[in-house]
Structure 1
Amino acid sequence: MQTLTLTRATNLFSQHQDDRYLGLSNHRLCFLSVHPASPPPLLASKRHRLKLAFVAKAADSTQPSSATTSADKTLVPDDEFTLAKVSFGVIGLGLGISLLSYGFGAYFSIFPGSEWSALMLTYGFPLAVIGMALKYAELKPVPCLTYSDAQSLRETCATPILKQVRNDVIRFRYGDEQHLDEALKRIFQYGLGGGIPRRSAPVLQMIREEVTEDGKYCLVLVFEAKALKLSDFEKRQEKFTSFFGPGITAEVGKGESENLYEVRLISNTSPNLSSS
């Protein structure tokens, strides 16, 4: 059933509005409006319940996906203290200079303990020299970015060589010109036929631990090479695989910046096989 209501209303528009839209002025208008009968209370309540249930279901379906995405790419802070992060050059130089300073001060009676001045001078001088030598030959560790999902797979899926490479480049080294010097020398064949000049050798800038799309552990080596191109890395991709193998597959790609190149060392060990 529908009800008809006859409504009389006065003109609410001004003179120029009436002329623009209606073409009428100072006339009373009659509006005939048709109002449907109000639905039964039962149907109205069902309509509201269906709408609320749809909104709640849509909200629930969007929340788990965002939480999973943020958890997969969480960086693990490198705040663990180890002896590998300590510079022996700084320690030796600091102890040597401290002993020399106090020894000279005690010898000239500026500080107490003049009877120990000769001993402090005797040990302070070689410690200072050794500290300066270590500081000169020091090779600082490179930054390491580790994602939480890769950290959980490192012990079970990473090969012993990948673990050794990671541990070697994140600690202080002494006497080496650069990190992975022996590996790069064999792969790029410095000064040999088909090789590159040593001055054009790539320099390791950082490493990154991540998980591939198929769930395998991957150690990414990021090199800076201003004199090389991507093709120089691509034609040595098999050499990267054979040197850092067995049990890995090497992939070469372009880095984020112009002179950066990435070598991805992917472990062939599947997480499912290692867990079983």
Structure 2
Amino acid sequence: MPGGATVCSGHRFLCLLLPDSTRPRLTNPTTTTRSRSSVSVQLQYSKLFLKPNNGFGSKLSLTPRAADSSTTQPLGASTNNTTLVPDDDFSISKVSFGVIGLGVGVTLLSYGFGAYFNILPGSEWSALMLTYGFPLAIIGMALKYAELKPVPCLTYSDAQRLQDKCATPILKQVKSDVTRYRYGDEQHLDEALKRIFQYGQGGGIPRRSAPVLQMIREEVTQDGKYVLVLVFEAKALQLSDFEKRQAKFTSFFGPGVTAEVGKSEKDLYEVRLISNTDPSASPS
């Protein structure tokens, strides 16, 4: 009926039965609002992710990808397009003896008590399991308490090729020491840092302000030299505290090494130990 109106059963909107020329075009206000909201969100994301680089490099990556030494090292690293070498090889140095001792000891104690009270079979071995399980559990707990976990090591493919012939014996030893479990040490490179920063001495720093090693990296400089980068966290120190001890770093980790220092991010400082060995002159 022209000019009349009726409600369409099963629909949310009022259908006006008017001539085509005068019939209003009804829209869902909720849909319109959502559409405008969606467009607004898309514009916000476009502005966020298409924002030009501010000169300090990207600090956030939404998808993991292989890094290269030119994007992670602002202190003169190689500009070659290299990738990270996965550290998935098994080594006894990656195993915690505290966890092993504690696990074996607790297992022997648990089974020994179960066998002793005839809950588990093997009652004739219960005394032996209790005898060895108790000291193993105690030793495991002691090792776990005194345990110093290894720090992460990032190795780039170009640095790995130069490692054997260009890394000095001291640099190899440093890498070996900090990438394995240690027991009884307060922190990695504790003796080296004690001599370089002179804890509690004149011109030194308080021990509570000592830098803490967070990770190491193996890279290659722009002129093709092997570098071992030590990344420290030092909330109570400034870059100048590292710069005035640059010669001490060179002396302690030498010979055949030149040390450079710089700041990476907030509270993070890098000590670059550059091997002076010429790759082209080294025997293959």
TM above 0.5, yes or no, is yes
What letter corresponds to residue 265 of structure 1 in structure 2? L
In structure 1, distance between residues paired with 2:79 and 2:197: 39
Shift of 1:70: 9.5
**Could you tell me which of 99, 105, 125 is aligned with 2:114?**
105
In structure 2, distance between residues paired with 1:134 and 1:260: 30
Matching residue of 2:101: 92
Matching residue of 2:132: 123
In structure 2, distance between residues paired with 1:216 and 1:182: 27
CA RMSD of aligned residues (A): 1.3
TM-score after normalising by structure 2: 0.72
Cα displacement string for residues 130-151 of structure 1 (whole angstroms, at most 9, x for unaligned residues): 0000000000000000000000
What letter corresponds to residue 123 of structure 1 in structure 2? Y
In structure 2, distance between residues paired with 1:71 and 1:216: 13
In structure 2, distance between residues paired with 1:188 and 1:70: 33
Whether the 8 Å contact between 2:79 and 2:222 is mirrored in structure 1 is: no
Structure 2: where are the runs of 5+ without partners? 1-77
- Map 1:64-83 → 2, pairs under 5 A: 72-83=81-92
1:270 paired with 2:282, answer no
Matching residue of 1:258: 266
In structure 1, distance between residues paired with 2:177 and 2:119: 45
**Could you tell me which of 189, 194, 201 is aligned with 2:203?**
194
**Could you tell me which of 219, 236, 241 is aligned with 1:227?**
236
Shift of 1:71: 6.7
Matching residue of 2:213: 204
In structure 2, distance between residues paired with 1:123 and 1:133: 16
SS of 1:162's equivalent in the other structure is helix
Whether the 8 Å contact between 2:199 and 2:206 is mirrored in structure 1 is: yes
Shift of 1:222: 0.2
How many residue pairs get aligned? The number is: 207
What letter corresponds to residue 88 of structure 1 in structure 2? F
Q: Quick check: which one's helix share is greater?
A: 1
In structure 1, distance between residues paired with 2:86 and 2:126: 45
SS of 1:72's equivalent in the other structure is coil
In structure 1, distance between residues paired with 2:82 and 2:263: 21
**Could you tell me which of 187, 190, 193 is aligned with 1:178?**
187
Matching residue of 2:143: 134
In structure 1, distance between residues paired with 2:81 and 2:162: 13
In structure 1, distance between residues paired with 2:81 and 2:257: 23
Cα displacement string for residues 154-186 of structure 1 (whole angstroms, at most 9, x for unaligned residues): 000000000000011011000000000000000
SS of 2:282's equivalent in the other structure is helix
In structure 1, distance between residues paired with 2:81 and 2:283: 19
TM-score after normalising by structure 1: 0.74
In structure 2, distance between residues paired with 1:100 and 1:251: 53
Matching residue of 1:242: 251
What letter corresponds to residue 268 of structure 1 in structure 2? N
Quick one: percent identity of the two aligned structures? 82
Matching residue of 2:225: 216
Matching residue of 1:151: 160
**Consecutive aligned runs of 4 or more in structure 1 exceeding 2 Å deviation:** 69-72
Whether the 8 Å contact between 1:237 and 1:250 is mirrored in structure 2 is: yes
Whether the 8 Å contact between 2:97 and 2:143 is mirrored in structure 1 is: yes
In structure 2, distance between residues paired with 1:86 and 1:167: 14
